[in-house]
Amino acid sequence: MKISIIGAAGSVGAPAAFYLAAKGLADEVVMIGGRKQNVLKQHAMDLSTAVSAMDMVIRAGDYSDMGGSDIVINAAGAPQGVIADRMEMLPKNISLCEGIATQVKQYCPDAFFITATNPVDPLNYATFLAGDFDRHKLIGYSINDTFRFKEMIAKAKHARVSQVDGLVLGEHGSSQVLLFSTARVHGQNVSFTEEQKQSLRAGVPNILKGYEELKAGRTAGWTCAIGLEIIVRAIVEDQQCVIPCSVVLDGEYGLRNMSMSVPVVLGREGIVDIIELDLADDEMAGLEKTVATLRPAMSIVETSLSSANQ
């Protein structure tokens, strides 16, 4: 199993490289960077030593070294200051993702492609259009929202997170839809007061705001590493498990020409199934809101790529 990580010097790519290697999910990990080549090389040297007893190849490389990759993770992003919303990163990152999609299509066209660059939904769609990828092998990383939802359910219900289930649908951003109908504690349905729902709806999407206020210059790298390992393991081990991912829709939920987070079944063939849930009335209203938020971003992607190809 060969995994290539683009943006591997960054705060998402570097932890992902470490965790995937430490968990033994690859025989070879190629770390590809941009501006920070010395940082990239140092990470590769350090990680190679860290997992040396596992007889794994860890190396820094460029796009041409992706050849033969089974999985490619794009964690690269344009330099960005403090932001209030992930969508602020869209204009700078469209052309970056277009270029990366072209390189992946050239060197490893059959690889599974995981988009882990924000804003993930429109950029996953941009990657789909730019690279003409099979949508079942193109996965946008959005599981962090579900991690946070489950964490806050646990606090509200005085339970352990390991005892909690729940899913988040829609935008990986402020209009995400918390699916209270999927919430379970010890496998049992749980109810929420309207006050609790409003508190969670305000709290989960605002995690980003808390990060940005610290001005630490990094993002949820450790969380992303855990989530990316879950996705990669599901593919490698053909787990056929349900994971929320941003995927390009073609009629599911009555939607087309966009990517957003929905529950999918992941296995060796990639996205084996897209699960269409029966939503409660307030959840359906939330879905309509998140679609209204995402549509303009998808249009920006289409216009940008169309202009670039003229």
Distance CA 102, CA 13 (A): 20
pLDDT bin (cut points 50, 70, 90) of residue 91 is confident
Averaged confidence pLDDT in the chain = 94
Residues that are catalytic: 172
pLDDT tens-digit series, residues 23-61: 999 999 999 987 789 999 999 999 999 999 999 999 999
pLDDT bin (cut points 50, 70, 90) of residue 198 is very high
Structure confidence at residue 30 (pLDDT): 99
| DSSP state for residue 42 in the 8-state scheme | H
Query: Would you say 12 is a known binding-site residue?
Result: yes
Distance CA 16, CA 224 (A): 7
- CATH architecture of the domain with residue range 2-141: 3-Layer(aba) Sandwich (3.40)
Q: Over the range 190-203, which residues count as b (16 or more CB within 10 Å of their CB) and which as e?
A: bebeeebeeebbeb
Structure confidence at residue 237 (pLDDT): 98
pLDDT bin (cut points 50, 70, 90) of residue 81 is low
Structure confidence at residue 159 (pLDDT): 98
pLDDT bin (cut points 50, 70, 90) of residue 310 is low
Rounded mean pLDDT, 86-96: 85
More confident residue, 309 or 155: 155
Query: Would you say 13 is a known binding-site residue?
Result: yes
Rounded mean pLDDT, 7-22: 97
Query: Would you say 9 is a known binding-site residue?
Result: yes
Structure confidence at residue 83 (pLDDT): 57
Rounded mean pLDDT, 78-84: 62
Q: Are 243 and 169 in contact (CB under 8 A)?
A: no
Structure confidence at residue 203 (pLDDT): 85
State phi, psi for 113 to the nearest 5 degrees.
-120, 125
pLDDT tens-digit series, residues 240-299: 999 999 999 999 999 999 999 999 999 999 999 999 999 999 999 999 999 999 999 999
Query: Would you say 247 is a known binding-site residue?
Result: no
Selected from 2.30.29.30, 3.50.50.60, 3.90.110.10, 3.30.300.130, the CATH number assigned to the domain covering 144-299 reads 3.90.110.10
Structure confidence at residue 238 (pLDDT): 98
Sign for the CA dihedral angle at 49, 50, 54, 60 comes to negative
Distance CA 255, CA 287 (A): 11
Check: pTM over 0.85? Answer yes or no. yes
Q: Give start and end residues of each alpha helix (H) in 108-188.
A: 120-131, 144-156
Rounded mean pLDDT, 113-130: 97
Distance CA 227, CA 218 (A): 17
What is the percent of the chain where pLDDT is above 70?
A: 96
Q: Are 8 and 32 in contact (CB under 8 A)?
A: yes
pLDDT bin (cut points 50, 70, 90) of residue 99 is very high
pLDDT bin (cut points 50, 70, 90) of residue 82 is low
pLDDT tens-digit series, residues 128-186: 999 999 999 999 999 999 999 999 999 999 999 999 999 999 999 889 999 999 999 99
In the chain, residues under CATH classification 3.90.110.10 are 144-299
In the chain, residues under CATH classification 3.40.50.720 are 2-141
Structure confidence at residue 34 (pLDDT): 77
At position 280, the amino acid (one-letter code) is A
Distance CA 161, CA 153 (A): 8
| DSSP state for residue 69 in the 8-state scheme | -
Rounded mean pLDDT, 6-33: 97
